Amino acid sequence: MVAAPASLDTLCINSIRMLAVDAVNKSKSGHPGLPMGCAPMGYALWDKFLNHNPKNPKWFNRDRFVLSAGHGCMLLYALLHLTGYDSVTIEDIKQFRQWGAKTPGHPETFETAGVEVTAGPLGAGISNAVGLAIAESHLAAKFNKPNLSIVDHFTYVIMGDGCNQEGVASEACSLAGHLKLGKLIALYDDNHITIDGRTDVSFTEDVLKRYESYGWHVQHVKDGNSDVNAISQAIETAKAVTDKPSIIKITTTIGYGSPNKSDTAGVHGAPLGEEEADLTRKSLNWPYGPFEIPQEAYEQYRKAIDKGSKLESNWNDLLATYRSKYPNESKEFERMLRGELPGNWDQNLPTYSSEDQGLATRKHSQICLGALGPNLPELIGGSADLTHSNYTDIKGETGSFQPETREKRYLHFGVREHAMAAILNGIAYHDSGLIPYGGTFLVFADYMRGSMRLSALSELGVIYVLTHDSIGVGEDGPTHQPIETIPSLRAMPNMLVFRPGDGNETTGSYKLAIKNRNRPSSLCLSRQGMPNQRNSSSDKVAFGGYVLEDCEGTPELIMIGTGSELNLCVEAAKELKNKGKKVRVVSMPCVELFEEQSSSYKEEVLPVNVRKRLVVEAAETFGWHKYIGLDGDSVTMNGFGASAPGGTCMEKFGFTVENVLNKATKLLG
C-alpha cells in the first residue's frame, strides 16, 4: 500500500524535524527532541504570523522571535535556513556545533544573523523577551502618532518546561503581567520531559493558573503535534488581547516521529542514531535523504522573502511620511536607531575640585544620572526596589513606566534582581539605541550573575549601578557586605568594572559606560562618603589607572587604591613624604581598562623596577597579585565582614590611615 502524499503543511513541518535529526546525528551531539515536537508551532508562527525580512535581519519593525529553550536551537536554525536567511545555509546546518560554524550549540546573536537573543541558560530567553516587549511599548508610546505607528511589532517566544521551572522566568513574567505587555506572546512547549525524565518527578503545578495569577491571558492547544489550525487560531486570539501578555500551552510529544525514542528523555540531549533516523523517516513518510528538503517546502517557506521585503518597503514609506510631518521626532528616532549619541549628551556632567564637598559615590552617581537624563533621551532604567538606596532616579523625571504611562523611562523592577538584569539585556537586544541601566546592592550581583555574564558574552552595553560596595555597608552585616564580588566581576571577560574614588572618577565612569555600547559596565559605588581628590580626573578614568600623587624621581613605594580607600593611600602618602620617603599613589578605578593600555603607559605608571607596592581595597585580595608582586603587600579582606557601624567595620578590619602607614613602613624597611 502506497502512503498518501503529504500535505504542504506536513512537508514543511517535517522539513524542520528531519533537518534537526540529520544535523544532530552528523554532529553526534545536540537536542533533536524539541525541534521535532515544536516543528508545527514553529511553522505556524513563522509561516503565518511572523513579520520579518530574511534579507535584512535588522529591519527595525520586525517581530522579535526568542527561542528561550535554546538547547532546541535546530528549530531556529532550520527556520532561518528554510525562510531564506543568508546566515544559515545548508552547509551551516551540516556544520552544526562545529568549530567556526554559524550554528553553535545554543543560539548566539553575535554569531548568527536572525538570532535575536543569546538565551543561554533556561529562563533567560523569556526574561529577555520581557525586555524586548518593554522596549517596543516604550518607543511606541514615545514616537507613534495617530495613523503613523512606526513602532508596531510583537515579541514571540517558544519556551519549555525548564524555562517555567527557572526562577528568573517567574520574576520576569510576574512583572510582564503587571505591566500588561500585550504584544508579548509565549508558546509553551508542554512535552512533560526534562533530562531527568518525566517532569512529574518534580514539576506538577498548573502552569497556566500560575500565569493567570500573574495577569496573563492563557490558552491550551491539546494537539501540538499536528493541529496547525488550532495553534494558528490560538496565536490569532492572543494577538487580539492587547492588555495582557499571552501564554499558549501547546501539548506536544518530544521527538515526535521517532518510533522508539519519542516521549522519552533519551531524545532530549542525544542523537537518534542512524538506525532510529531511518525508522523516523518511515514513520513520517519522508522519502528524502539526509539534509534533503523538497522543493515545495522551500517554495512555501521562502515566500517570506518577498513578504518581508514588502513589509519593510511599506514601513519605509510610513517612516518617510512620519519624517515629513514630525521632523524633530523623526530625527531623534532615527538617530537612536543608528546608535548615535546626541551631541550634547555629556555637557552637564559635573566636575569637582578638592574644595567641593565629599559625597558617597552613590550620590555622585545620582547627580550624573540627573545630568544625563535631559540630554540622553535613550537612557532607560531603574532599580530592584532600592531606588532610595541606589539613588537611581533621574532628577526632574516624574512618574515611571506603567501600563498607562509607557513613555516614561523609570522602571520599577520590584525585588527581582535576576529578572532585572535579564530584562535590561532584552532592552539592549532590541537594538533601537536604548541605553538600559539597573540598580541594586553590589552583593546582589550574585543573583544577577548569569544575566550579567550574558551581557558580557553578547556585547551588550548594559549599565549596572551597584551600590553599598564594601564592609562600609555597616550594620546590615556580612550577608550584605560584598567582600569577593568585585574580584569576581573583574574575572568576567568583557565586563568593565569601575570603582571610582571620588566625584570626578564617578563622572568619568559614567562617560565610559555610556560610550561603551558593546560592553557592559558595573559601577561599584559606596554608601560612605569620601573627599574629592586634588588631582583626580574624569578623563583619566579612560586609562583605567593613573598617577594621582607623585614624588620627584623614582618612587620607593607605590600605593594603589580604589573607591573610598583611595583617600587612605593619599593621606598615608602625605605622612610618608613628610618623613622623606618617595611615594607614588596610583588610582585604579578600572583594572580592565588599565590592562588594555600600552606596555609603555603601564610601565610609566607602575615601573617594573619599583617592587615595593601596597594595594588598598576593602575587598578580597584575589586578582591584585599581578600588581602587588612578590615584594608587595595589601590592605584587603581575607574573610567576611561583620555587623557594626560602617566606620567601625572599616577601622576593625584595618582600613585606616594608621594601618596603611604601618604596612607601608614595613615594606620600606
Q: Which amino acid is at 27?
A: S
Sheet holding 546-549, edge to edge: 546-549, 583-587, 557-561, 613-620, 633-637
**Among the listed residues 548, 546, 667, 660, the one whose alpha carbon sits nearest the alpha carbon of residue 611:** 667
Strand 613-620, strand 583-587: pairing: unpaired
Element (H, E) at 599: helix 599-605
* Backbone region of residue 273 per phi and psi (left: phi > 0; alpha: psi in -120 to 50; beta: other values): left
Q: 440 near 482, Cβ under 8 Å?
A: no
The DSSP string of 246-270 is EEEEEE--TTTT-TTTTTSGGGTSS
Q: 576 near 661, Cβ under 8 Å?
A: yes
Q: Which three cell numbers stand for residue 150?
A: 512606526
Active-site residue among 166, 171, 312, 417?
417
Q: What is the 3-state secondary structure (H, E, C) of 477-544?
A: CHHHCCCCHHHHHHCCCCCEEECCCCHHHHHHHHHHHHHCCCCCEEEECCCCEECCCCCCCCHHHHHC
Where do we find the cell 522519502? 287
Q: Which three cell numbers stand for residue 243?
A: 492588555
Where do we find the cell 522579535? 64
Phi, psi dihedrals of residue 42, rounded to the nearest 5°: -65, -45
Give the integer Cα–Cα distance in Å for 508 and 438: 18
Q: 14 near 6, Cβ under 8 Å?
A: yes
Q: Nearest 5°: CA angle at 647, between 643 and 652? A: 70
Q: 644 near 474, Cβ under 8 Å?
A: yes
Give the integer Cα–Cα distance in Å for 652 and 473: 14
Element (H, E) at 451: helix 445-457
Q: 510 near 368, Cβ under 8 Å?
A: yes
Query: 649: which residues sit within 8 A by CB, 6+ positions away?
Result: 471, 472, 473, 474, 481, 641, 642
Q: Which three cell numbers stand for residue 621?
A: 585580595
How far does Cα 536 stand from its chain's mean position? 32
* Known catalytic residue at 417: yes
Give the integer Cα–Cα distance in Å for 143 and 325: 12
Does residue 67 sit in helix, strand or coil? strand
User: Active-site residues: which are they?
Assistant: 417
